[in-house]
Amino acid sequence: MKRRARGARTALTGLAAALLLAACTQEGTAAPSPAPSAASPLPATAPTPDGLLLTADFGADTVTFVDPRRGAVASVTVGRAPYGLAVGPDGRAWVATAEGVAVVDTRTRVRLALVPHRTDTGPVTDGEYRGGGMGIALSPDGANAYVGVNVPGAHGVLEVIDTARPQVTAVVPVGRRPFDVDVSPDGAEVYVTGHDSFDVTVVAAGSLRTRRIQVAPYGTEGGLGSWLKPHYTAVRPSDGMLLLPFEGERLAVVDPRTGRTTVEPMTADTHQHGVTLTADGRLLVVGTGAVEPGEGNGPSLTVRSPDGAERVYPLEGPHEDVAVSRDGRTAYVTGGYTRDGHWNGITVVDLDTGATRRLPAGTRPLGVAVL
């Protein structure tokens, strides 16, 4: 298997591959398909309309409000290099940045607070390996925000924020570079995906006790230099299983109660990052492109039915994360990408036909939510 050989690469080989990928994607997006004209900005005092998108602009210090038909309409400064975001039913967005977690009132487009990290993450910087908040999620009752914090050169932590105060109330050790944080449907457990440690840390929300589950369907050979690591996780509401895609070839289905992992085949043959689930159980998976030219397919969005049938829709240029419209018919895929080769927009995908169009959005958007 070509992927099995890929897992044994050294960090130097991985860096070379990344540079090749960056050159390829930058060239591929030099002349993107025409985007619609920018939307008129929202007046400062106007309430935010329902149905807008919110993106975390990793290449700026902002979140951007995006009209799904016309593009960006407003931005709010939140903190350095925002990564993930989560929006509660009260309209507050919790945004993981290098400096801390910003709290934004999405209805009035005002930053209400910046909750500093309790953990020392070193200098506040930009880029793929910067310290600070990465994945973030809210408890079902909105009482707590959970943010995965990257500590460069060390294992990460999960910081628990009391949303009423707001402030950090607990710090829990987890895996390295916590790309994603998810919560069980009943709120009893938090799942932290450790990219560089090939694992998911299961955190009991009440006691904060932890269990580590290794998720490595290709093995862990290659260590930090391996491409075959977990990135984002979706929690299947029907049975609580954790779904982690790898390389458009394997879907790891993890039982968080037993730690047992089963592997199902996938068909996109592309390096995979962001995931989400639709209300009817379809899994949407973002493909970022081939790690090396000629060893895999280009960027794509996989639409996987509960029975395992897949449709793979090609995308133009690298992408990172995905959200789905409330009616389940449209996907919004961010063009930020954690590695080089990003672009400043969102691809809108019709999930029935695969038709796509591009929207201008913030600078290097990663996290995305539908308001």
Domain count, the chain: 2
- Give a yes or no: residue 50 inside a domain: no
Residues 241 and 132 in one domain: no
Q: Does residue 273 come out as left (phi exceeding 0), alpha (psi in the -120 to 50 range) or beta?
A: alpha
- DSSP letter at 32? P
Which domain range does residue 238 map to?
1-44+230-371
Residues 210 and 239 in one domain: no
SS3 state at 21:
helix
- Indicate the pLDDT class of residue 33, thresholds 50, 70 and 90: very low
- Give a yes or no: residue 68 inside a domain: no
- Indicate the pLDDT class of residue 8, thresholds 50, 70 and 90: very low
pLDDT at 199 over 70: yes
- Give a yes or no: residue 225 inside a domain: no
- Indicate the pLDDT class of residue 37, thresholds 50, 70 and 90: low
Q: Which of 6, 154, 156, 188 is nearest to 83 (CA)?
A: 156
| Residues 181, 147 contacting (CB under 8 angstroms) | yes
| Residues 63, 85 contacting (CB under 8 angstroms) | yes
CATH number reported for the structural domain that contains residue 204 in this entry: 2.130.10.10
Q: Which of 288, 320, 298 is nearest to 59 (CA)?
A: 320
| Residues 205, 139 contacting (CB under 8 angstroms) | yes
Residues 245 and 357 in one domain: yes
Question: Which tens digit of pLDDT belongs to each residue from 324-338?
Answer: 999 999 999 999 998
Residues 278 and 369 in one domain: yes
CA distance 230 to 198: 6
Looking at residues 65-84, what average pLDDT do you find?
Answer: 97
Question: Which tens digit of pLDDT belongs to each residue from 277-302?
Answer: 999 999 999 999 998 878 899 999 99
- Indicate the pLDDT class of residue 38, thresholds 50, 70 and 90: low
- Give a yes or no: residue 55 inside a domain: no
- DSSP lists the bridge partners of residue 354 as none
CA distance 138 to 110: 20
